[in-house]
Amino acid sequence: MENKVEAQFTSKRSHVGFLLSLGLGHVTPFFELAKILVTNHGFHVTFFNITTEVSSAQNNLLHSPNFPLHFDIVNLPTIDISNLVNSETPGIIHLCINTNKSLKCLNKVLNQLPNKPQTLIIDIFCMQAFEACKDVVPNATFWFSPFSPPPLDFLHSSCSFLN
C-alpha cells in the first residue's frame, strides 16, 4: 500500500529544471533552493551542469553522492574551447564562450530525458537557452538574481500551467 501512495505522489510531482552559468556564486544559492524544493515541497528537480574545469569545491558540490531522491544532475557534454581562448582571454569572455558553446546541445539533452522539466529556471548568462529549449520546455523562466530565488507559489503555478 505504501508503495502505491509513493508512486502516485511521485507521478504528480512538479518538475523544475535549473540551468545556471559557471561559478559557485551562481550555482550554490539555486542548488540549495533545488534541494529544499525536493525535500520539503515534493518537487522533482533536474539541475543541468555546464561542464568545465571548475573549482574542486564546485565539483564536489555537483557530484556529491548524497543527493535526495528526485534530485537529478545532468551534465551537459564537455566542450573544447581551447582554439577560442588563451591565457590572456578575460574570465568573463571565457565563461560566455563556454556557456554559449555548451548550450548548443541543450535541446538534444532535454529531448533524451524521459521526464522533461515543466519549468526551466535560467540565469543571466544562459539566456540563449530560451531558444534552445523553447520546443521542449516552453515554460522557461529567466530569474536574474541568485540572491532572490523565485517564490515557491510561482514555481508551482508555472508547473501547473502545463499540466
Where is 19: in which H helix or E strand? strand 15-19
- Do 13 and 19 touch, CB atoms closer than 8 A? no
Catalytic (active site) residue 123: yes
Which position among 15, 26, 44, 72 bears the catalytic label? 26
How far apart are alpha carbons 145 and 120 in whole angstroms?
15
How far apart are alpha carbons 131 and 127 in whole angstroms?
8
Q: Which three cell numbers stand for residue 116?
A: 522533461
Where is 74: in which H helix or E strand? strand 71-76
How far apart are alpha carbons 22 and 36 in whole angstroms?
21
Which position among 15, 44, 72, 123 bears the catalytic label? 123
Q: What phi, psi does 141 have (nearest 5°)?
A: -130, 135
Catalytic (active site) residue 63: no
Active site residues: 26, 123
